[in-house]
Amino acid sequence: MSVTCVPDPELKAAILVKPIGLLDVEGATHFWEVVSPRLSEEASLVLVDMNGVDLMTSAGISVLIRVLSRVQLLNGDVSLFGCNDAVRRVLRITELESLLKMCETAEEARARMS
């Protein structure tokens, strides 16, 4: 899995995370290693572009909850967009759709976070 994490160009105090590949144990570990150092009061909003994620296991769910827990301590939030049907189904079954803001597009995610 590859993960990029950059300041969001349109939303203040937000980072844009783009994972590509499998969000499994190895992918989740890499995701955390890339994202966690960027979380702070200046970057407490996390937009996750899931367009490149083919499949997500329980490890992927765990890392998203871990990120959410960290940013909630900073009065922040997490929004996911671009989930394929398989990933959306996992989030629905685990009832995480209510905790993680689920959106279709980056624009919708930014609007829900601002």
pLDDT per residue of the chain (114 residues) written in tens, 0 to 9: 999 999 999 999 999 999 999 999 999 999 999 999 999 988 999 999 999 999 999 999 999 999 999 999 999 999 999 999 999 999 999 999 888 889 999 999 999 998
Residue holding tokens 């160009």? Answer: 9
Helix (H, G, I), strand (E, B) or coil at 44: coil
Contact in structure between 51 and 19 (CB atoms under 8 Å) = no
Assess contact for 27 and 13: CB atoms under 8 A: no
Full set of structural domains in the chain with CATH: 2-106 (3.30.750.24)
Percent of the chain clearing pLDDT 70 (strictly above): 100
pTM of the model: 0.95
**Cα(48)–Cα(51) distance, rounded to whole angstroms?**
9
